[in-house]
Chains A and B, each alone.
Chain A
């Protein structure tokens, strides 16, 4: 296999093409813009379509239409742009269309926006949160697969660092299990059933009078329960004998993981958990350690969002402490002074000593 040194945005675009995505629509916004730029350049060369939309509203609408015809389609943006898309996200989700959303967030401030659905209605998106470009290449391909498996939108939560730095990665297509035929798509055929189709977000089916909102709603909820069991993913290190566990997500976790490995080498009994799926949240991983640790420290760069999910996971079985905080650069793109291994190290050491009463072995 050959490795190439590529920027995150470009790798994401190539991974989407490898996954069979042939439709993308978006509107520029830092730090997502480069994803759109690379899409505009590469998608047509791959026989696909990329539209420079009038706004995020048009972008998500176009993706919605493309999905309805059975195409593998995606859109993306950052913060405000995704806020604009929420109305359509709700409807696309309720219409059970396999949308993939590339979110290059401005740092970690949008955990809630991603994990709480965001729009109206009672729904969730699967949120994959890569730690680096290598994982993003895998996640993009997985996203298209999971979106089709569950007929539910999947979002990649990346950020400035992911989009704008380069790494040596292998860009290889991943083979997934065969998917069922899209017998729901508006493809102009009757699919041997003699029935035409109607895609909508209220559970209406052709040939049946009226709608059954409650039954439809419950069916969607049952799907979410199944996703929670099947798709929660996490990465963990040093949990066996840990008396302190730190958790972090996304590119920030790379810094945290590095510091934890160092502290381990120096004798601290510190462990690490990283949610790979922000939704469904890997609650079990936290439950499993709650009884044996003194504290779970949550290092996130915001006012405290993922910490809620950690607390909900352990339900008081272990103290949960906020270790990160708000940290930003001048432009607001989320690469602030706390994103620094020396700083993180002093924070983690202080938390470790405070909670365990142990100073690291010298």
Chain B
């Protein structure tokens, strides 16, 4: 493969964030995905969100499985740590890393095949555990990397490029995440950056499992007439429930809101999620209502997007299982090898 290296020079007009980094410092290698692939827009949104949140790139760990979507961590946050695991196993690898080192900001990038087909079991268990992370599925309804077979999120009746209709029911990953206990659940569309960027910001500042199902059309294999994951189809059937502004603890509140229902959610880090409601009195803190809302609208053929649910009092896995506060790698030899007397004492405490 030939890589184009980006010039190191920064344009003087690039605005630095509070850490002194410009947007460029959050970019990665030049993408080798198909031109127009939805996944590239998600990478751009991730770059924008991390830049705006002033996240130190080296504190972010990007993990992924296998697929075009799982390749994307190469194309953003070049200064962050990366780990490509195997197909469908990112959740367990990320859970292990998070348990051993809670100090990093965890970002899991996956595809609908990686998470809903081969990785469904691991996806489900990660959601249940409350792993503190942003889990983003770049959902195109097909296995892009292996040339367009239907994945488990492909809608029943959706047609392949060759015109064959899918006969299996689709898995709604956002609905699953809600049912399984994720404490932040959203759906978005790679073609809608104004919606996606704040969702990513909110998810990254959430403590607990934040899940974003991001519809991301595959221009090579699933962007034709008859597909329900094409740019045209998603634009026509997109039903946004709210519009989100994220106000970080440091930011001044400048935006003026006109009349209309606004719901505010303060997260544990002090960030305020300000939601302009678009769909009636949709309550973003009501999990059961969110599940019903999704199901009803899916039955009408609508793709509900926006912040679907957030639990502002979410707790994460470390709290649940009472882990040591220090990352394991920071425990020194005295702490790790205290001798046999300590082992005897430990065993005695079990008697």
Chain A interfacial positions (CB closer than 8 Å to B)? 27-30, 33, 36-37, 52, 54-57, 80, 330
Across the two chains, which residue of chain A brings its CB closest to B66? A80
Smallest CB–CB gap between B95 and chain A, Å?
Answer: 19
Residue B14 at the chain A interface, CB threshold 8 Å = no
Cross-chain contact A330 with B143 (CB below 8 angstroms): no
8 A Cβ contacts from B72-93 to A: 86-88
Q: Which of A29, A37, A54 is the most central at the interface, judged by chain B CB atoms within 10 Å of its CB?
A: A54
Cross-chain contact B146 with A52 (CB below 8 angstroms): no
Cross-chain contact B150 with A52 (CB below 8 angstroms): yes
Known contacts A27-B118, A54-B118, A55-B117; A80/B86 CB under 8 A: yes
Across the two chains, which residue of chain B brings its CB closest to A81? B87
- Residues on A with beta carbons closer than 8 Å to the beta carbon of B1: 330
Residue B152 at the chain A interface, CB threshold 8 Å = yes
Across the two chains, which residue of chain A brings its CB closest to B152? A54
Cross-chain contact B120 with A28 (CB below 8 angstroms): no
Residue B344 at the chain A interface, CB threshold 8 Å = no
A-B pairs with lowest CB-CB distance, top 6:
A55-B118, A28-B146, A54-B117, A33-B146, A28-B149, A330-B1
Cross-chain contact B149 with A52 (CB below 8 angstroms): yes
Residue B8 at the chain A interface, CB threshold 8 Å = no
Smallest CB–CB gap between B284 and chain A, Å?
Answer: 32
Assembly CA distance A154 to B86 (angstroms):
27
Smallest CB–CB gap between B1 and chain A, Å?
Answer: 6
- Residues on A with beta carbons closer than 8 Å to the beta carbon of B120: 54
- Residues on B with beta carbons closer than 8 Å to the beta carbon of A36: 149
Smallest CB–CB gap between A85 and chain B, Å?
Answer: 12
- Residues on B with beta carbons closer than 8 Å to the beta carbon of A56: 118
**24 CB < 8 A contacts A-B:** A27-B117, A27-B118, A28-B143, A28-B146, A28-B147, A28-B149, A30-B146, A33-B149, A36-B149, A37-B149, A52-B149, A54-B117, A54-B118, A54-B120, A54-B152, A55-B87, A55-B88, A55-B117, A55-B118, A56-B118, A57-B118, A80-B86, A80-B87, A330-B1
Assembly CA distance A52 to B146 (angstroms):
13
- Residues on A with beta carbons closer than 8 Å to the beta carbon of B117: 27, 54-55
Assembly CA distance A57 to B120 (angstroms):
12
Smallest CB–CB gap between A238 and chain B, Å?
Answer: 42
Assembly CA distance A52 to B88 (angstroms):
16
- Residues on A with beta carbons closer than 8 Å to the beta carbon of B88: 55
8 A Cβ contacts from B107-134 to A: 117-118, 120
Please, what's the 1-or-0 string for B143-175, where 1 marks a CB less than 8 Å from any CB in chain A?
100110110100000000000000000000000
Assembly CA distance A10 to B22 (angstroms):
52
- Residues on A with beta carbons closer than 8 Å to the beta carbon of B87: 55, 80
Please, what's the 1-or-0 string for B52-88, where 1 marks a CB less than 8 Å from any CB in chain A?
0000000000000000000000000000000000111
Q: Which of A28, A36, A80, A330 is the most central at the interface, judged by chain B CB atoms within 10 Å of its CB?
A: A28
A sample of 18 more A-B contacts (CB under 8 A), given A29-B146, A30-B146, A54-B118, is A27-B117, A28-B143, A28-B146, A28-B149, A33-B146, A33-B147, A33-B149, A37-B149, A54-B117, A54-B120, A55-B87, A55-B117, A55-B118, A56-B118, A57-B118, A80-B86, A80-B87, A330-B1
Across the two chains, which residue of chain B brings its CB closest to A29? B146
Across the two chains, which residue of chain B brings its CB closest to A36? B149
Smallest CB–CB gap between B220 and chain A, Å?
Answer: 15
- Residues on B with beta carbons closer than 8 Å to the beta carbon of A27: 117-118
Assembly CA distance A29 to B146 (angstroms):
6
Smallest CB–CB gap between A150 and chain B, Å?
Answer: 31
Across the two chains, which residue of chain A brings its CB closest to B120? A54
Smallest CB–CB gap between B101 and chain A, Å?
Answer: 27
Smallest CB–CB gap between A344 and chain B, Å?
Answer: 26
Assembly CA distance A27 to B119 (angstroms):
13
- Residues on B with beta carbons closer than 8 Å to the beta carbon of A330: 1
Smallest CB–CB gap between A111 and chain B, Å?
Answer: 21
Q: Which of B86, B117, B118, B150 is the most central at the interface, judged by chain A CB atoms within 10 Å of its CB?
A: B118
Assembly CA distance A80 to B117 (angstroms):
16
Assembly CA distance A80 to B65 (angstroms):
13
Assembly CA distance A55 to B66 (angstroms):
13
